[in-house]
Amino acid sequence: MKLFYFILAFILLCASESKAQQTYTPITTQKAFIGYRFHTNGQKNLSPQEVIALLRTNPDAHALAQKARANKVFIDILGGAGGLMVGYPLGAAMANGEPDWTLASVGAGLILASVPFTIKYNKKIKEAVDTYNAGSPAAQTQNSSTSLYIGSTHHGVGFTLAF
């Protein structure tokens, strides 16, 4: 008899529909020297990868984050190459070698070329976070309007609540 109840309980648990609420974590932004710092619950600093992972729950915000990520690739390439081209002659100068200042000036130009991409990246990622926060359940309830009407219904006269 115990086996029968165990099997019945197992079948009912497997056949039942599972429901879960999606947790929403708001992202707060803080202006930094260059760009923004992102936090959740006012505590944890988020990396760009963590921000994009959180933004995946909102399709509009995720699309903006993907555009920002494309700019980040150019920033990394130009900034990294420029930093190497500036750092190599500086290292040679510090080691009493013969530095190639032409290489350093080309590197400085590459670093300066990455600045517009940095500005565009910061704007896009901030816009994506704002879109994500605007799509939050709390923001949706603040923006929704409810109206109470008195009038005819399917069952006669009554109240109608419209969202």
Q: What residues contact 152, with CB distance under 8 A and at least 6 apart?
A: 158
Q: What is the pLDDT of residues 50-102, one digit of tens each?
A: 888 888 888 888 899 988 888 888 899 999 999 999 999 999 999 988 888 99
Q: Which helix (H) or strand (E) holds 53?
A: helix 48-55
Output the six-digit token pair for 116.
């517009």
Listed by start position, the domains of the chain span 26-134
Q: What is the chain's alpha carbon radius of gyration, rounded to the nearest angstrom?
A: 28
The better pLDDT of the pair 41, 122 is held by: 122
Q: Is the dihedral of CA 112, 116, 119, 120 positive or negative?
A: negative
For residue 23, pLDDT beyond 70: no
Q: What is the pLDDT of residues 10-19, one digit of tens each?
A: 675 555 444 4
CA distances, 65 to each of 10, 62, 73 (Å): 44, 5, 13
Output the six-digit token pair for 155.
């069952």
